[in-house]
């Protein structure tokens, strides 16, 4: 039996209409998404099919839509498929927490809605942004970022870092990129995973106090240090601190299994499998962009 690890993507992976085929081709997907809609207070069916790009790029919409998509796909596809563990990128960790049994699906949705709205509100307070830095020497890139007054928000591995800070500082970074690198501004509302999100962190911290927490039923990697977390409470606490601290996806990839395994990215898939393909030689990356992609998974 092939070892399987599932991954839950983060913000920016969604595209207009991406759930169309999932709703029509996967038995039970619609009912799962409707349950998650009820928990979130959003019409996720409509948002995943008829909403335009501008609507689903809105932080308050994007985050719950992405988390719900991953949860619904896992609940409907992996009924008979054995999974060793799960990990998520940024907001994808809420889906990972639900899949690992740390919190319920409905609590994951309620929390992510609070997080998304709070982060959107925090971003509206000040003009901030984020940019991906591709290539360059990591130490030189980090030095340039610091000199410009920016912070590293995502350590994505595979030669990719994400800087965050004042919008003017991001513009300066784009104008003068580190040597042998390209800088691309991301279509996000603000400087996530930095101190600019401090009010959002406080709001989420209050919300998690009302949630029932259990220890994970499978291996669960944390973005904090890339290690497997065996405590549900510790993982939930990390979801709060993560709002203002960097995502260490590079460390997550470094601690994946040493034997051959399927790395299966749940929808909206593609970004994480791309990083793993370039960084983890013993992984078989499978991006579930369409329901038919699941045929590549050995049950």
Predicted local distance difference test score (pLDDT) of residue 11: 92
Predicted local distance difference test score (pLDDT) of residue 223: 97
Q: Check if 202 is active-site.
A: no
Are 253 and 277 within 8 A, CB to CB?
Answer: no
Are 202 and 122 within 8 A, CB to CB?
Answer: no
pTM for this predicted structure: 0.96
What letter would DSSP give residue 138?
H
- Catalytic residue among 4, 13, 69, 90, which? 90
Predicted local distance difference test score (pLDDT) of residue 12: 87
Are 132 and 183 within 8 A, CB to CB?
Answer: yes
The string of pLDDT tens digits covering residues 150-166 is 999 999 999 999 999 99
**Residues of the chain scoring pLDDT < 70:** 1, 298-299
Predicted local distance difference test score (pLDDT) of residue 2: 80
To 10 degrees, what angle do helices 29-40 and 59-77 make?
A: 140
Q: Check if 70 is active-site.
A: no
Cis preceding-peptide flag for 268 (omega within 30 of 0): yes
Are 291 and 25 within 8 A, CB to CB?
Answer: yes
Q: What is the DSSP string of 50-110?
A: T--HHHHHSHHHHHHHHHHHHHHHHHHH-SS----EEEESTTHHHHHHHHTTSS-HHHHHH
- Catalytic residue among 4, 69, 193, 279, which? 193
Predicted local distance difference test score (pLDDT) of residue 23: 98
**H or E stretch including 132?**
strand 128-135
Contacts of 46 (CB under 8 A, 6+ apart): none
Name which of 227, 220, 203 is nearest 103 in CA terms. 220
């Amino acid at each position: 039996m092939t070892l399987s690890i599932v991954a839950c993507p983060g913000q920016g992976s969604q595209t207009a209409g991406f759930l169309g085929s999932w709703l029509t081709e996967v038995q039970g997907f619609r009912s799962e998404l409707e349950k998650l809609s009820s928990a979130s207070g959003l019409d996720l069916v409509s948002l995943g099919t008829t909403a335009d790009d501008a609507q689903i790029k809105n932080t308050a919409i994007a985050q719950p839509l992405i988390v719900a998509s991953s949860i619904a796909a896992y609940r409907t596809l992996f009924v008979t498929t054995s999974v060793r563990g799960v990990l998520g990128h940024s907001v994808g960790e809420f889906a990972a927490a639900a899949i690992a049994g740390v919190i319920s699906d409905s609590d994951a949705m309620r929390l992510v809605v609070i997080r998304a709205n709070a982060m959107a509100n925090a971003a509206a307070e000040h003009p901030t942004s984020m940019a991906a830095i591709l290539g360059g020497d990591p130490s030189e890139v980090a030095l340039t970022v610091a000199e410009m007054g920016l912070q590293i928000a995502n350590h994505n591995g595979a030669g990719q870092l994400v800087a965050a800070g004042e919008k003017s500082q991001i513009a300066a970074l784009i104008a003068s990129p580190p040597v042998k690198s390209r800088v691309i501004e991301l279509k996000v509302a603000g400087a996530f995973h930095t101190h600019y999100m401090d009010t959002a962190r406080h709001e989420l911290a209050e919300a998690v106090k009302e949630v029932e927490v259990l220890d994970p039923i499978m291996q669960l990697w944390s973005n904090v240090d890339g290690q497997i977390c065996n405590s549900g409470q510790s993982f939930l606490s990390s979801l709060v601190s993560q709002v203002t601290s960097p995502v260490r996806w590079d460390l997550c990839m470094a601690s994946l299994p040493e034997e051959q395994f399927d790395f299966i990215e749940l929808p909206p898939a593609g970004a994480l499998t791309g990083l793993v393909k370039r960084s983890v030689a013993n992984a078989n990356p499978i991006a579930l962009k369409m329901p038919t992609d699941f045929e590549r998974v050995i049950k």
